[in-house]
Structure 1
Amino acid sequence: MQRNLIVTKDGSHTVAIPEWEVSYHSVYGAVQESLHVFIEAGFRHWWSLNENASQCVVFEMGFGTGLNALLTTLEARRRQRMVVYETVEAFPLEFNLVEKLNYCYALEESFWQPVFDSLHTCEWNTFHPITNFFSFKKEKILLRNYSPSQPVDVIYYDAFAPAAQPELWTSEVFEKLLAMLAPGGVLVTYCSKGDVRRAMLAAGFHVEKVAGPIGKREMLRATRAEGRRQRAEIEQGQS
């Protein structure tokens, strides 16, 4: 499978697969997309609802370039709160391609380059204390074979688009993801297709459309409906 490094419109890199006509991130800006979809709409949104939590458990579907993990590492440092991060990647990038990615430079965080590199070079299938606030584990398996070590608070669903990998956007897949989430857990994805939203609803998610990143009008955020009810009941009991 041929994979090519390309420069997106915000100056940050992504990787394209010509055979599938897909790229790992938006050509309108890899960093801006990841910040908007996964960090702002997912990670920060969850923390806004759980301000007193001591840690957040994140699962990323598709480790890919490692950009989402890097950005979450930086967020964990900023918040001084523990993040447990698990991810799967069946087809990891070759390191000679990884070492060309310019994310730390684009973020003006060159100090973090060794940390970014370690996300790619660390041993598979075991947790690593990447920083004092970031514990990281990656597994080289397919999603269907994955089981989380504990209930997940935030899911970054960053699979390739449905046109390239339709098998990853079915109601059966979203049922598995729903079962992984802790009450009140959040799933975010860049995709806003009607078929995907209906698959999420059929799986039992509460789904909302939110503003998308540059170049995309909308994205989807899904939550465990029972988590929402539980919070409402707690709030009513406290009133």
Structure 2
Amino acid sequence: MDIEFEITEDGSHTFFVPGLNEHYHSTHGAIQESMHVFIDAGLRRCEKREVKVLEIGFGTGLNAFLALQEAEKRSVKIDFTTLDLYPVSTADAEKLNYAELINPSQKDIFKELHKADWERWNQITLWFSLLKMQFDFSNPSEFHPENKFDVVFFDAFAPEKQPGMWTQPIFDKIYSVSSENAILTTYCAKGTVRRMLQAAGFFVERLPGPPGKREILRAVKK
């Protein structure tokens, strides 16, 4: 997949995919968006000391790196499972400036997230382990995780760009592999997505979005 580098308004990088006419992150700020949607609205709402995270869309590794920072800062054990059918190359990932902006002392750790083996668990730090799966989640019936998840980062490309990733069977599957009180967050606040999450069984609320976006969704399994 051809990609181009761009700098977003908070100074952090993102990728642009000409073939989809789509960015990996908000052009108003990649780090800013990920912190708002996935860390503040999602991960920080989970009070467990051992947290199992599922991410749909590893992409640049930004969400994983931010989750790792939370694990280290709060001394919370995070097992992070991430799915991506078309991962970016390690060479492209190493050009991203996230570590320099977030935690310059962990530049090598950010690189390790991308260099880590696929299809097996990697112990990245004492508090953070990573499982990367090159998996097509548009076929959710084939996903059989070993444990249920406490937090879900739903970060696929937008529904109009990747409609096969925003279907009722996918949200039904996520509900079935989520633990009680699990939290799902996504940047997409479309009514169709909200209704699919509700149909799956989640309690769904609209939250204020990051700069450049009016609303996001948070879903909780009750």
- TM bracket, shorter-chain basis: over 0.9
Larger helix fraction of residues? 1
Give distance in 2, aligned partners of 1:24 and 1:148. Answer: 26
Report matched runs for 1:1-239 at 5 Å.
1-47=1-47, 53-107=48-102, 109-143=103-137, 144=140, 145-225=142-222
DSSP 3-state at the match of 1:131: coil
* CA apart distance, 1:95: 1.7
Deviations 1:202-238 (A, max 9, x none): 111111001111110100000112xxxxxxxxxxxxx
Give distance in 2, aligned partners of 1:214 and 1:87. Answer: 26
**8 Å contact from structure 1 (residues 86, 148) kept in 2:** no
Give distance in 1, aligned partners of 2:49 and 2:154. Answer: 23
Q: Aligned partner of 2:16: which letter?
A: A
Instruction: Look at both structures and tell me which one has the larger radius of gyration over its CA atoms.
Output: 1
Q: Runs of 5+ in structure 2 lacking a partner?
A: none
Deviations 1:60-86 (A, max 9, x none): 001000000000000000001101100
Count matched residues: 219
Give distance in 2, aligned partners of 1:102 and 1:43. Answer: 23
Identity level (%)? 42
* CA apart distance, 1:148: 2.0
Give distance in 2, aligned partners of 1:204 and 1:82. Answer: 28
* CA apart distance, 1:146: 2.6
Give distance in 2, aligned partners of 1:209 and 1:92. Answer: 30
Give distance in 2, aligned partners of 1:207 and 1:142. Answer: 25
Q: Runs of 5+ in structure 1 lacking a partner?
A: 48-52, 226-239
Give distance in 1, aligned partners of 2:167 and 2:116. Answer: 32
CA RMSD after TM alignment: 0.9
Give distance in 2, aligned partners of 1:121 and 1:32. Answer: 25
Give distance in 1, aligned partners of 2:164 and 2:220. Answer: 21
**8 Å contact from structure 1 (residues 56, 154) kept in 2:** yes
When normalised by structure 2's length, the TM-score is 0.96
